[in-house]
Amino acid sequence: MEKSDEVVAVAERVTVVPVAPPLRRGRRWPLGAALAITAVATAGLLLAGTAWPDQPAVRAWRTVCLAITVQALPFLLLGTVLSGAINAFVPADLFTRVLPRRPVLAVPVAGAAGAVLPGCECASVPVANSLIRRGVTPAAAFAFLLSAPAINPVVLTATAVAFPGSPAMVAARLLASLATAAVMGWLWLWLGREEWLRPGLRHRHTGHQHGHSRLHEFRLGFQHDFLHAGGFLVLGAMAAATFNVAVPRSVLDAFSGSPWLSVLFLAGLAVLLAVCSEADAFVAASLTGFSPVARLVFMVVGPMVDLKLIALQAGTFGRAFAWRFSTATTVVAITAGVLIGGLLL
């Protein structure tokens, strides 16, 4: 009984968590804990003794929610291990040495370099931030930020597993994501303003620092990234499971009937569901009523724009940046998805 009540309580908090700016997390701890305890206690009092957890819908919700989490955990773990290893063991100035000096060229190269950082979008935000602080031009760092969660081998493998027998889907996802990342980088070069960025991005953890055991740093970085991303994964799984169980198939069919509406609907869904990029292919595969193009758009938009990412970006780069960047990225990603999906699928 008690545990089911926790489920409810946290589900109620769900709406609050991603919106809260990820700053000052440490300081607010006691308040947050107090809120959580109050929520759990209230839910416990309200639900104690009811047959609520035995409702078939609730059981199906729990099954689906856990299934998404279990399915994604190994992928998430692999991603965080690798990104932790890169953070701790790759020399700090490697990226600056490798990238071309001219920003216009650096953008696509950085976008393609996203393939070497296997991780999900939560990991790529701090990495992009550290790249900027190490002198990489912001445009290139943003191209990297957008492409890394979408085109790395872990995600592409997951996509191939989720869409067995349709390699075109993997290729289309790779191309559309790369195109979006490059276009956004160039857009930043053309229209972007430094003052949208949070002033004085301070030096933080990324990379190896003198006087610390690399293994120790690796373990800490890994632990942090895994717990952080894992929390968001559970959140995404909850949202997806709610959607999966609560929304009757007929509503989906209403949208899946019209090609344009279905594309916009799934793009919006990708933003709202905030599924980790390492798991979103499986969610896309489950949306069986929709056209391949709409599902591709779901997978292109998802890793680049979603609620948790907007929150992360607002915390890291500043709010003025986050909403402009996310809006523009959504438009570019939908366009790229439709164009490339139309050609390949």
Partner 1 sequence: MKRPVQSLLLTLTGLGLLHTALFTDTYLRYVKAGLRVPLIASGAALLLLGLTAAVARERRGGSGRGHEHGSGHGGGQGDGGDHGHDHSVTPRIAWLLFLPALSLTVWAPPALGAYTASRSGAKPVTVQKKGFDPLPAASPVPLTLTDFTKRVQQDRSLAVKGRAVQLTGFVTPAEEGDGWYLTRIIFTCCAADSQTVKVRMYGTEAPPADSWLAVTGTWHPRGALGTRTAEAALDVTAAQPVAQPVNAFTDDLPLRPS
Q: How many residues bind partner 1 (CB under 8 A)?
A: 77
| d(C-alpha 187, C-alpha 134), whole Å | 22
CB-nearer residue toward partner 1: 95 or 317:
317
DSSP 290-307: S-HHHHHHHHHHTTTS-H
User: Chain-centre distance of CA 327, in angstroms?
Assistant: 15
Residue 30 touching partner 1 (CB under 8 A) = no
Residue 153 lies near partner 1 (rule: CB under 8 A): no
Q: How far is the CB of 179 from partner 1 (least distance, A)?
A: 27
What is the DSSP annotation of 125-151? HHHHHHHHHTT--HHHHHHHHHHHHHH
**Contact between residue 111 and residue 182 where contact means Cβ atoms under 8 Å apart:** yes
Ordered alpha helix ranges (H), the chain: 2-13, 29-47, 56-89, 94-98, 103-113, 121-133, 138-151, 153-162, 167-191, 214-246, 249-256, 259-273, 280-286, 292-301, 307-317, 319-344
Query: Could you tell me which stretch among 27-35, 42-50, 184-192, 291-299 binds partner 1 (CB under 8 A)?
Result: 27-35
Q: Does 161 participate in binding partner 1 (rule CB under 8 A)?
A: yes
Minimum gap (Å) between residue 28 Cβ and partner 1: 8
Q: Single out the residue of 39, 43, 64, 110 in contact with partner 1 (rule: CB under 8 A).
A: 64
CB of 294 to partner 1, least distance (A): 16
Return the residue of 43, 113, 131, 162 that touches partner 1, per CB under 8 A.
Answer: 162
Q: Which stretch binds partner 1 (CB under 8 A): 105-113, 196-204, 264-272, 292-300?
A: 196-204
Residues 205-224 that bind partner 1 (CB under 8 A): 205-206, 209, 211-212, 216, 219-224
Contact criterion met (CB below 8 Å) for 246 and 105? no
Shortest distance, position 191 Cβ to partner 1, whole Å: 25
Using CB under 8 A as the binding rule, whether residue 183 contacts partner 1 is answered as no
Q: Based on the shown chain and the rule CB under 8 A, indicate whether residue 69 belongs to the binding site for partner 1.
A: yes
Ranges within 276-315 binding partner 1 (CB under 8 A):
282-283, 285-286, 288, 312, 315
Cβ closest to partner 1, residue 65 vs residue 338 = 65
Which residue has 């717990």 as its token pair?
A: 227
- Structure tokens of 200? 């004085």
Under rule CB under 8 A, residue 49 binds partner 1: no
**Minimum distance, C-beta of residue 148 to partner 1, in the bound complex (Å):** 15
From the list 12, 34, 41, 59, which residue makes contact with partner 1 (rule: CB under 8 A)? 59
Does position 85 interact with partner 1 (CB under 8 A)? The reply is no
Distance CA 80, CA 108 (A): 24
Nearest-angstrom CA–CA distance, 189 and 7:
45
